[in-house]
Structure 1
C-alpha cells in the first residue's frame, strides 16, 4: 500500500505567543484526550537493531478493537516544532508521522501560526477510507483545541470539560461531610473552596497524582499553604498521598508507593537502563489523589513521550550514525547539558562561550562518549553542532542541568512539623535508610539546666522545660521546620532550607525574653545549626536523621555561649543566608575557629550574638526583661 501514502496539512494563525501554543499542544496526553483518542497501555523500553529504542503500545478502539504499534521517541525543539512516528503492527495504518510547527504569525503581532503535517500509510483499502474519519478529524480537532484554550486564556470560558467522568459520579454527600473535618484546620478557606471545586468538577486525570505546587500555580496561590491544605485534607480523608520515585536523568516517575514504609532504597529506570539510589531530597516526591470514597478516578495514559512530560528538555533529536545536526541553543543562558538517552553520556555547560558566533562549538559522539570536535563549523548564532560517529543511531537531548524545584520532595515535607504531627506513622521500614543530599539540622540546649532543677525542684523545672519545648516548636514550625526529637532538655530539629533554620534560630533568640516573662526563672538558650548530607532512618517508630551533618550540628551547638547561635562560616556562601546575616541589627557577628571533637582541623564558625542579652524592643525603645 506504499503507493497509497497520503499527506495532509492544516494550519491556522492565532493571536497567541508561540510559548503559549507550545504548552497547549506539547501536552500530548491532555491533547489526545480532547481530540477523542483512546487510553493507551505502554510496554517496557525495547531496542531495535541499530540503536533507537521504542515502546510497544496498545489501545482498544470502541472497547474491543485492538490497535498495536511501536512508539518511537518524539523529536522536538522547544517552541519551534515536534514530530512523532508510529509503526503499526495491527490497525488500519502501517505508519504515521506527524509534525507540528510553531511559526511566527504574519497576521497577528507576536502571534503564532500552527502548522500540522501528517503522513498516513494505510494498511489496506479500509485504512485508506479511515484517513478522513480518524486522521483528518484528529487534525481538525487539534486546531479546535487551541481555539478553546484561547477562550480559556482570555477568560471567555472557565474550563474545557473534554472528558466525561466515565469512572463514576462524585459522592457530594461524602465530600461535604469530610470537608466539615477541615473546619478547625488552620488552612485558607478560599483554598478549601477551590479544592472542593477541583474534586467535584475536575477531570479524572486532574485529581490523581496531584502536585500541590503545580495546583498552587494554577490557582495563583501560595505553594506552602496549598501543601498544608492537602496534608490536612488527607488527614480528613478527602485525599490519599503517594510517594513517587523519580529518575534523576529523564525525571519521570518510575515507581509509586502508598507509604514510606514500602519505599525501597534502589529503583530501576528502563529508559535510562540504570539503577538509582532513592534520594529524599530529589528523587522521592509526594503526590495526592482524591479518595475513592468521594469518587473513583484513574490516571489514564494517552502519551508517554510528549514534550510536556519532560519540560526540562529544550530539544530532543534522533541522530543517525554518520550524521550531524546543528542544535539551536535556548534564548538566555541557563545551566544546560547534552545527554545520550540510555547510554547516559553527558556534557554539562556552566556557561555558553562569550563568542556568540560559537564557531567551532561542536561535539562528536563516539561509542565511548563525547569529544570536543576540533573541526570548525560556520554556524549561525547560538547553534551547536553534534556529530554521531558511534556504531549506532542515538537519541540526544539538550536539557536544563538543574533539578526541578516545583515539586514536593520527601525531604521537604518530612521536615515540616505539621506533617510529622499529622502523619507520625509515615516512617521508613525498620532497617531501611535513604540518603538526603542536603538538610539542615538545628540543635538547642538550655544553659544551666542542672541548677534550674536544683533551684525550683524537679516538678517545676520539668514543667518549665516542657513549656520551653513548646516555645521552640512554635518558631521551628513557623519557619517550615520540624522537631525530630528531644534529648534531655535539648531539641533536635530539621529544616529543608538552611535559610529557614537560620530565621527560626534568630526568632527564637529574639523572642526568648517574651517566654521568660511568663516563667519564674528565665532561661538562656544555646543554638547551633549545620547543613549537609544526611541519612533518614526509622528510629523508635519516628523519622530520624544520622550522619556527619547531625554530628557536626551537635558539635557546633556546643560552641554556643548562650543568647546566641553558632553556624559554619560556609553559610556565607549561600546568598540567602548571607543576606539574612548581614541584615541583622540586634546581633553581633563574630568569626572564630574552634576545635571540634572528632574533626582533625579547626573549623571556621560564625557566632551571632545578641548585642544586649535578654532585652526587648518596644516601639524602637530597648527595655530590660522584668
Structure 2
C-alpha cells in the first residue's frame, strides 16, 4: 500500500474554491487523466453501483473498476473509493480537503493505493512526481479563476475567432440581439469550458452575469434563430438532476422516465423536470463529449452533504445550513425528511439525528435554526446506505417547460412543436390568468368592425406587454380574451394590476368609449397537452380559472384562495391601493361553492 499526501496553499477562500475543485470532471481533464465510460448496475435495496472503464498507454491498458458513491461536505472535503477487478491496482481512495487559512486555503490531497502488480513498485515515485505536478498545475489554474476572475481554460486566439463569429450570428436574429447580453453570450459560447457549453442554462448565466432571466432566455432563443445555438429538451431525474431523456423536439418527450444512476422510475413534470438547454452548433464550436468523472459534488451541486453509512452504524458530520428549505433522502428509503432552516436565533451548534430503518427515514420533518449543524446519520438496516442532505430549490436555475414553451420568441420559432397526441406532462403548480373585454360585442356593433378591431389590437398590445414584463407567457387568445400562465401568484397579480393601469392610460389618452377589462386568476395542478398541434393546459384547475374570470364585473380582478393567500401576492396587494370584497359563489359547470376575493385597484 502506498500513500501520496500533497499540500498546496491557494490564494482564494474555500467558499470560492469549492465549486471549482469539486468539479471533478473538469479537474481530472485539466490534470490530464484519461476519459472514462460509466454504466450503472441497479441494486436490490435501491440505488445503483457505478461501474467504469478507462484506458491508459494509448489504449493498451484497460482499467475496469467499481466506484463507491462520492462522499462530501460542501466547502470542506470530498472523497471516493474505486475497486479494480484486474490490472496494476486492487483499489485506491482519493480525498481532497479544504482548510481555511485567512483569505487563502490550504488544500490537502491524499491518495492511497493498494497494488496488485508488485513489480511496478520501483515506478511509483516517478508516477507520484508526475501526478503531483499535473494536479499542481490544475489547482493553480482553478485558484487563478477563483481569485482573479480569469478567463476559463480554453480561451485564446481560437476562442477570439469563435467569439467574433458568434457575435455576427447573434446579430442576424430578428429582432436582432443587441447590447451587453449579446457580447456576454458570444464570449461564453467561445471561451467557456466544454462542460459549461455542452448544456448552456440561460438562467444560470443570468445569475452569473447579473442579467434579467428573460433577457438571457431571449438571447439564447435568438441564438437558435440565428443558427448559433441548438436547443435540447432534457428530462431531469428529480433526485440526481441527471438528464434521462434528451430531445430536440417536445414531440419526442414521454412522461414516464427512468434514472439508472438512482434506480428510480419517475414521471416527468413540465414545471420541474423538463429543462431547455442550449449548445453551440458544430460549425461554431465543437464541444468535447467525453466524460472524465460522473460522480463528483458538482455533478449534483444541490447536494450539500453525502455520506455512506455501513449497516448498523452511524456517521456524524458538521455542516453549514443557511436558512432555507432542505431535505434528507436515501436511495434505500421511499420517504424523505423535510427540513426547514430558520433564521438563527443565537450563535451555537444545532444537532439533528436522522435514522434509516426498515420503514424508511425518520423523522418525517424538522424545523431548526440555520447555521452550524451537527448531522447524525444512523443506519438501522442490514445493508449499506447512502444519506444525502440537499437544497430543495435545486431547480431554480432550470429554464423549465413552463418558463420556455410559452415565451414569445419560442412560440414564434417553434409554435407547432408539441407533445405527441395522447401524451402530456403534469404541472405541479401553475398560475393561470384569464381576461376578457366587457361589452366587446356591443363595441363592434357601435364602432364598426375596423375601428373595433383597432381597439382590440391596442388592448392586446397592453396585455402582452404586462404578461412579458412580469415573467408570464401567452398561452392563447380566444376572440378578444387572453389566457396567460405564470410560475408564481405574485407575478400574475402584478401583471393584472399592470393591465388595468395600461387600459386606464389608453382610455385617458383616447377619450372614447372606455375599454373595460374582466380578469380572474387561479393557481393549482394541471396537465400540459397537445391541443390542435399547440401546447395548452387541461384539467379542472383550468375550468376554475376560466369561470373565475366570468365572476369579474369589469375593472376588477377576481382571485381564488391559492392566489390571495400566497405570501408574495398578499404582500404585493398590501402595498397597492385597492379595496377588496369577499365572495362566495357557485361557478358555472362546477360543483360546490367557491370562496373568492374581488380586488378593485384604486388610483394611487
Using the size of structure 2 for normalisation, the TM-score is 0.90
Structure 1 distance, partners of 2:274, 2:321, is: 31
Unpaired segments of 5 or more residues in structure 2? 365-371
Q: CA deviation at 1:285?
A: 0.9
1:171–1:293: 8 Å Cα contact kept in structure 2?
no
Deviations 1:63-93 (A, max 9, x none): 4233222221111122222111111234432
Structure 2 distance, partners of 1:402, 1:290, is: 28
Q: CA deviation at 1:179?
A: 3.1
1:52–1:393: 8 Å Cα contact kept in structure 2?
no
Q: Report the secondary structure of 1:330's partner residue.
A: strand
2:506 is equivalent to residue 488 of structure 1: no
Aligned residues: 593
1:499–1:577: 8 Å Cα contact kept in structure 2?
yes
* Superposition pairs of residues 393-472 of structure 1, within 5 angstroms: 393-472=384-463
Structure 2 distance, partners of 1:330, 1:169, is: 41
Partner of 1:609: 600
Unpaired segments of 5 or more residues in structure 1? 374-380, 618-626
2:530 is equivalent to residue 560 of structure 1: no
Structure 1 distance, partners of 2:362, 2:569, is: 39
Structure 2 distance, partners of 1:414, 1:155, is: 38
Greater mean deviation of Cα atoms: 337-346 or 548-557: 337-346
Q: 1:183 to 1:461 in 2, by over 3 A?
A: closer
Q: CA deviation at 1:128?
A: 3.0
Q: CA deviation at 1:116?
A: 1.1
2:225 is equivalent to residue 225 of structure 1: no
Q: 1:176 to 1:314 in 2, by over 3 A?
A: closer
* Superposition pairs of residues 581-596 of structure 1, within 5 angstroms: 581-585=573-577, 587-596=578-587
Q: CA deviation at 1:175?
A: 4.1
Structure 2 distance, partners of 1:479, 1:133, is: 61
Residue among 314, 323, 332 paired with 1:324 = 314
Structure 1 distance, partners of 2:209, 2:457, is: 40
1:417–1:483: 8 Å Cα contact kept in structure 2?
yes
Structure 2 distance, partners of 1:232, 1:340, is: 41
Greater mean deviation of Cα atoms: 328-337 or 241-250: 328-337
Q: CA deviation at 1:333?
A: 4.1
Partner of 1:574: 566
Q: 1:522 to 1:429 in 2, by over 3 A?
A: same
2:32 is equivalent to residue 36 of structure 1: yes
Deviations 1:520-548 (A, max 9, x none): 54321111111111111111121111112
Q: CA deviation at 1:385?
A: 2.8
Partner of 1:101: 97
Q: CA deviation at 1:163?
A: 11
Q: Report the secondary structure of 1:509's partner residue.
A: helix
Residue among 281, 294, 315 paired with 1:304 = 294
Q: CA deviation at 1:132?
A: 4.0
Deviations 1:282-309 (A, max 9, x none): 1111110001232222332111111111
Partner of 2:531: 539
Partner of 2:52: 57
Partner of 1:623: none
Using the size of structure 1 for normalisation, the TM-score is 0.87
RMSD: 3.0
Q: CA deviation at 1:354?
A: 9.1
1:483–1:494: 8 Å Cα contact kept in structure 2?
yes
Deviations 1:318-350 (A, max 9, x none): 111122212324344433322222544422233
Structure 2 distance, partners of 1:608, 1:345, is: 41
Q: 1:180 to 1:610 in 2, by over 3 A?
A: closer
Q: Report the secondary structure of 2:396's partner residue.
A: coil
Q: 1:120 to 1:575 in 2, by over 3 A?
A: same
Partner of 2:368: none
Structure 2 distance, partners of 1:132, 1:164, is: 38
Partner of 1:279: 269
Structure 2 distance, partners of 1:608, 1:366, is: 51
Partner of 1:479: 470
Q: Report the secondary structure of 1:225's partner residue.
A: helix
Q: Report the secondary structure of 2:554's partner residue.
A: coil
2:377 is equivalent to residue 382 of structure 1: no
Partner of 2:189: 199
Q: 1:169 to 1:153 in 2, by over 3 A?
A: closer
Residue among 543, 555, 558 paired with 1:551 = 543
Partner of 2:80: 84
Q: Report the secondary structure of 2:466's partner residue.
A: helix
Structure 1 distance, partners of 2:65, 2:130, is: 20
Q: Report the secondary structure of 1:605's partner residue.
A: strand
Greater mean deviation of Cα atoms: 491-500 or 266-275: 491-500
1:69–1:87: 8 Å Cα contact kept in structure 2?
yes
2:47–2:332: 8 Å Cα contact kept in structure 1?
no
- Could you say which structure has the larger radius of gyration? 1
Q: 1:44 to 1:219 in 2, by over 3 A?
A: same
2:12–2:146: 8 Å Cα contact kept in structure 1?
no
Partner of 1:335: 325
1:174–1:293: 8 Å Cα contact kept in structure 2?
no
2:65 is equivalent to residue 74 of structure 1: no
Q: Report the secondary structure of 1:350's partner residue.
A: strand
Q: 1:507 to 1:469 in 2, by over 3 A?
A: same
Residue among 204, 212, 222 paired with 1:214 = 204
Deviations 1:86-121 (A, max 9, x none): 11234432211111122233xxx2532211111112
Partner of 1:151: 144
Q: CA deviation at 1:149?
A: 2.6
Q: 1:339 to 1:434 in 2, by over 3 A?
A: same
2:25–2:294: 8 Å Cα contact kept in structure 1?
yes
2:282 is equivalent to residue 292 of structure 1: yes
Structure 2 distance, partners of 1:234, 1:550, is: 32
2:338 is equivalent to residue 348 of structure 1: yes
Q: CA deviation at 1:173?
A: 8.4
Q: CA deviation at 1:512?
A: 0.9
Structure 2 distance, partners of 1:15, 1:443, is: 55
Q: Report the secondary structure of 2:221's partner residue.
A: helix
2:163–2:189: 8 Å Cα contact kept in structure 1?
no
2:155–2:192: 8 Å Cα contact kept in structure 1?
no
Partner of 1:142: 135
Q: 1:134 to 1:245 in 2, by over 3 A?
A: farther
2:89–2:113: 8 Å Cα contact kept in structure 1?
yes
Partner of 2:494: 503
Structure 1 distance, partners of 2:454, 2:349, is: 71
Residue among 368, 387, 390 paired with 2:359 = 368
